[in-house]
A and B are shown apart, each in its own frame.
Chain A
Amino acid sequence: MLWACVLLPQLALDAVLRRRPDPEAPLALVGGPAQLRTLHAVNAAAAAAGLAPGMRLVAAHALLRDFAMVEHDEAVEARVQRFLAAWAYRHSSLVSAQWPGCLLLEVRGSFSLLGPWPRIEARLRGELDALGFRHRIALAPTPRAARVFAGLRDGLAIPHAATMATQLDQVPVRRACLPDGLGTRLQRMGIADLRSLRGLPRDALRRRFGLPLLEHLDRLYGQADDPLAYYQPPDHFDARVELGYEVESHTALLFPLRRLIGDLCTFLSIRDGGVQRFVLRLEHERVARQGVADGAAHTDVEVGLLAAERGQAMLFELARSRLERVEIPAPVVALRLLARQLPPFVPAARDLFDTRSQQQLPWPQLRERLRARLGDEAVYRVAPAGDPRPERAWRKVEGDAARIEAAPPRPPRPLWLLPRPVPFVEPGLPGCARLADPPTADMGIGAGSPRARAVGPGSPARRGARILSGPERLESGWWDDADTRRDYYVLETAQGQRAWAFAPPGELGGWMLHGWFA
């Protein structure tokens, strides 16, 4: 096995800086109790002004009047390390984030897939740079040796065990990552490097410094197995950005949103999955009002897609348009992105000889844009269904998955169907006199047929409507309380429209319009 160690010297600072729109401005991570605030880490601009880690906050303010302060949080650091472990999982199946501030990858297994070590190393560095993390990388046959080498020199790669042993012998004890700060103690005792340490009798070492030191040495040189806690990728995505200030406008949320979506897309490509539904949670300041329980301390923005996607630009545009439709009820202090369902992603097949130009919007993207503004149910396809009743002989189909079956053969059907039948009155139709009685439904006469109007029993039908064909008896639905018995006719109106209307069985009158043969 060959182990690569990615040492992240500024993990906490980088995790904060990459989320800030202005990483060049002076910034410091501040920790410690309220009475004794100290700087935990500073960025380059702050360091240039004389700030240094370990400095008291008061002293720092004396040196530099204006710099951004971010609370140092161990939990954030651990979460970022887990995120990076997920990223590293793309390059190796054995990843460990056991030790703070560094990642370990077994890379020999990846050679056949990703190429030799220099290529993998260049790849790791390129991607870490893009993610915005400072790093040092080294390679060695044991994980502990890789860790030690990464601390010594960036880019050191020693793939052979024998060379590794001779190189390790020269490592000063202080730099050998010995447990419990033993390095400094041993150095003060006059033990300069690992060779002289290993020259000492093991028994005496164990009695004086405890077993962990010997175990560390054995594992460092590969003389004992080194059991590591390997990283297991989670099956959901949950990331959170704390804003550090109160945000009340949408535009200020877009920058952290873009980072979150970017992280989500990185995560998805690692898992080779897509996302179909995720939640943007806008967290508000918890205000404990008197008598009112602070129940809704956050606003959820649901983003749902019809098909799994993982394109960063597209997901960002969708999340943005959904976010902009939401009213922000209270100042937002943190933004969280939760994705529980991560279905497998099937990339859309594109024909090499496709006549459409490629910069144009593909249909799924257009569909999501329409749904984002018009509502989730706004875009659908229609498919025939088996029921003979016209209003149930079709159904809506959402998404691309469902297959559309052929309709059973039936007499001609109209191209337009009215959402519900409306009374239909045309001069010249038999039985229109009956409609001098008030019709049962009073809606939509004008909508269905602009020229429809009631006529008296004796009115002349100059160029009146006539029956073209029919009747077609439909009698169905006794099983689901929507029993229908109708005689359908094809009618032609005075205007030349072809209507599909029905009458009660056996009668010619009481016409109800149900469709247009457009």
Chain B
Amino acid sequence: MAASVVALESLLAARTLWHAGRRAAIAADGMPTGHAALDALLPQGGWPRRALTELLLPADGVGELSLLLPTLARLTGEGGTVALVAPPYIPYAPAWQAAGVDLAGLQVIEAASRDALWAFEQCLRSGACAAVLGWPAQADAAALRRLQVAADSGACLGFALRDRKHAVNASPAALRLECVRGTLSQRPVWQVRKCRGGPAPAQAFVPGAA
């Protein structure tokens, strides 16, 4: 009997199990996103560490980089390495620099689509990178699970930027954010679709509002 209680406690502590409807003690050990409103929404108070975060986009250029830039700027400023694996466009150096990213820590990796997943996983697993951004277009659930495990063993932040059509599929990512059209403004807002450690908040994050 006692053993089962202990097991339950440990499950709760590991946040693999949580009380429905109750926002129990959750360690706010996330990596701050740099957006106070988003931090307040997320149960861990930021990006989940050692995990994959999925951003679901209706198109390119909807503000996905602006969402990540405060984090990337802080990580590169601390001397960490941020890797972009097979980005869809050229990361335009003057703009990244103006956003505060230390370009000395920003590495771009060009890869054909079949090698991109491999490179993404290598970067995540190596532990050499503080954060890795990837655009896995054809990744299925098994590939995403590999990426999630790689991010865990490499202790780094993984960001997978994918098309919104994948939102209906289940995903092993620790956090899923979907970019949707805001009701008030034309600017897109970010809706949390899944987050480890609690129910997904109904509220959306409006960039630039806070």
Which of B64, B94, B110, B126 has the most A CB atoms < 10 Å from its CB?
B94
The segment from B3-11, B38-46, B115-123, B196-204 that touches chain A is B115-123
B155 CB contacts on chain A under 8 angstroms: 356-357, 360
Total interface residues in chain B, CB < 8 Å: 48
Q: Is the CB of B186 within 8 A of A492?
A: yes
Any chain A CB within 8 A of the CB of B53?
A: no
* Nearest CB of B to A370, in Å: 6
Of residues 89 to 129 in B, which have CB atoms within 8 Å of A's CB atoms? 89-99, 103-104, 106-111, 115, 118-119, 122-123, 126-129
Q: Is the CB of A496 within 8 A of B92?
A: no
- The residue that B108 contacts in the complex, of A381, A390, A418, A463, with Cβ under 8 A, is A381
Q: Is the CB of B97 within 8 A of A407?
A: yes
Of residues 50 to 66 in B, which have CB atoms within 8 Å of A's CB atoms? 58-66
Q: In the complex the two chains form, what is the Cα distance from A417 to B88 in whole Å?
A: 10
- Smallest CB gap from B87: residue in A: A416
Which of B81, B118, B127 has the most A CB atoms < 10 Å from its CB?
B127
Q: In the complex the two chains form, what is the Cα distance from A380 to B103 in whole Å?
A: 11
Of residues 122 to 147 in B, which have CB atoms within 8 Å of A's CB atoms? 122-123, 126-129
Q: In the complex the two chains form, what is the Cα distance from A441 to B95 in whole Å?
A: 26
Q: Would A366 and B123 be within 8 Å (CB), given that A382-B96, A415-B91 are in contact?
A: yes
A377 CB contacts on chain B under 8 angstroms: 110
A517 CB contacts on chain B under 8 angstroms: 61, 63, 66
Any chain B CB within 8 A of the CB of A136?
A: no
B187 CB contacts on chain A under 8 angstroms: 496
Any chain B CB within 8 A of the CB of A125?
A: no
Q: In the complex the two chains form, what is the Cα distance from A451 to B109 in whole Å?
A: 28
Q: Is the CB of A518 within 8 A of B93?
A: no
Q: Would A499 and B61 be within 8 Å (CB), given that A366-B126, A379-B108 are in contact?
A: yes
Q: In the complex the two chains form, what is the Cα distance from A273 to B10 in whole Å?
A: 53
B99 CB contacts on chain A under 8 angstroms: 415
Q: Is the CB of B123 within 8 A of A383?
A: no
* Nearest CB of A to B89, in Å: 4
- The residue that A369 contacts in the complex, of B92, B106, B122, with Cβ under 8 A, is B122
- Smallest CB gap from B64: residue in A: A518
Q: In the complex the two chains form, what is the Cα distance from A381 to B110 in whole Å?
A: 11
* Nearest CB of B to A246, in Å: 33
* Nearest CB of B to A231, in Å: 40
* Nearest CB of A to B74, in Å: 15
Q: In the complex the two chains form, what is the Cα distance from A393 to B91 in whole Å?
A: 12
Q: Is the CB of B97 within 8 A of A384?
A: yes
- The residue that B60 contacts in the complex, of A369, A381, A385, A416, with Cβ under 8 A, is A416
Render B169-207 as a binary contact track against A, CB cut-off 8 A, 1 for contact: 000000000000110001110000000000000000000
Q: Is the CB of B62 within 8 A of A495?
A: yes
Of residues 6 to 27 in A, which have CB atoms within 8 Å of B's CB atoms? none
* Nearest CB of A to B65, in Å: 4
Any chain A CB within 8 A of the CB of B32?
A: no
Any chain A CB within 8 A of the CB of B154?
A: yes
Q: In the complex the two chains form, what is the Cα distance from A344 to B99 in whole Å?
A: 36
25 pairs, A vs B, C-beta closer than 8 Å: A356-B155, A363-B107, A363-B129, A366-B123, A380-B108, A380-B110, A381-B103, A382-B91, A382-B92, A382-B93, A384-B93, A390-B92, A406-B97, A407-B97, A410-B94, A412-B95, A413-B92, A415-B69, A415-B92, A415-B96, A416-B65, A417-B90, A418-B90, A450-B59, A495-B188
A-B interface, 10 closest residue pairs, ranked by CB to CB distance from nearest: A516-B61, A360-B127, A416-B89, A407-B94, A394-B93, A518-B65, A417-B92, A413-B95, A361-B126, A382-B93
* Interface residue ranges, A against B (CB under 8 Å): 356-357, 360-363, 365-367, 369-370, 373-375, 377-385, 390, 393-395, 404, 406-407, 410, 412-419, 449-451, 463, 492, 495-499, 515-518
